[in-house]
Structure 1
Amino acid sequence: MSEKSLPTNRWDEDLALILAAAVAAGDTALGYFRRTVDVRWKNEGRSPVSEADLAANDILKARLLGARPDYGWLSEETDDDETRLSRDTVFVVDPIDGTRAFIAGKELWCISVAIVHRGLPAAGVLYAPALGELFEATHDGEARMNGEPIAVREPAPNEKLQVAVAEDLSRKLISPYRESIARVPHVPSLAYRLAMIADGRIDGTIIKRNSHDWDLAAADLILARAGGTLCGLDGMPLSYNRPIVSHGFLSAASGAALPALLAASRPLAH
């Protein structure tokens, strides 16, 4: 991420805005949690959306665009409007990342809100209300969880890396790197999984194809400010608010773990 591409002012105010909006949306969603909610399916039946997702989305859109009407808008739960491509600054939102977990009554879901400026995250918030965890960062500030600084874990020499990776992908990883990895059980929210790297609970993850800007942008920034990296399998950083908002295979890890994880993942790049 090139900080030279981002202005060094104004993001603290924007962070306060998105933090308050994320908390309001998350607390509203929490009111639906572990209750019977209406659910419909989109993307040819592959993705659920609940009435809690839509309620959270409404709150975020009203608060954020009400305060910054000149910003663009990209949300998983709003039909895409390509006018966002003409805006330098865009809200990138997932009202509930981990909807399947939410519907199942599991706590691993969060509200993800980022401000992207000229393709790069400038401010980001993840709020996991069922866990009481609030992550935040700006592009030139610390990553924090519940107000306290966080940092990635640096594994000891010869220590196995704690990596969240699907079982089918783990079988494709190259030896001997594969033997240096201890597979972490599935984490249903991708954004929260990246936050777990940022605060040192796990060392890395390999992300399947077809993640989206709204899954990644806020967590990408939080992870970067905590000392980690999210990138393609070629090691290149991500760019957001493009015409196509989906991504290919990705890897994320602490600085110490990333080279081994990228080397292990080479077969997935073909």
Structure 2
Amino acid sequence: MSATALDKPANPALRRWLDFCLLIAGLVVVWYLLHLWAGDVALTSPYETVTKLIHLLGQDWFWPHVGETLVALGYSLIIAALGGLGLGTLLGIHRLSGQIAEPILVALYALPKITLYPLILLIFGLGLPAKVAFGAIHGIIPVTIFALNAVRNIKPVYLKTARVMRLTPLQAMRIVWVPAALPEIVSGQRIGFALTLLGVLLGEMFASQRGLGFLIMNAIGLNDVPTIMALALLLAIFAVTVSSILLAIDRRLHSRS
């Protein structure tokens, strides 16, 4: 084999898959060692957890809870994504408003949202509206902050080019503003997804009788460790899958910018 062939780098896609498999294998090993140390009372083994999850997925009563969580998450994501994008864009365009609003948004972002839960319950009551509101509150602020900074940090040369070309506001938005700000906007949507999912699950834990969050809370009350671990694994797989897709889009957009 020639030196050129030896120096040739491995397929990047294959290398990423190998790294991913090694990471998963390492996590499983660490999980199993923690199981041996803590015992079944605190942590089920990977095999027992997967077996319990497969059992839950085969139960007819389980899927309505999954559907309830997905519906609440979908509504929350729409509100957080569109509301945060619209508000952040407006604040980014009007720089004075953005400079005033940004520290307020950061302070609200740092505020533990659970402190707002009694107010949400008083306004929306128990059920789907409260879960949607709680999820949207978690996700809308980071989306707004990322959109604000994305619009505010657009290179001035792009804006000058739009004025020289005498583009209408709608044309400038479509041709200049959106492509230039899109990478940071997608980054905000990725963070917003994770926090919205967290908010929906917290809402289901405290103000619902349906959904995966409710099942987790019920299992905690019964000290049902296998169910807790199985549901945590299901949520982790879902969150990692969606976040990985958004991260791949994010990286591609940043590489083109």
TM over 0.5: no
The structure with more strand, counted as a fraction of residues: 1
Greater helix fraction, Structure 1 or Structure 2 = 2
- Which structure has the greater CA radius of gyration? 2
Which structure's relative contact order is higher, taking Cα pairs within 8 Å and 6+ residues apart?
Answer: 2
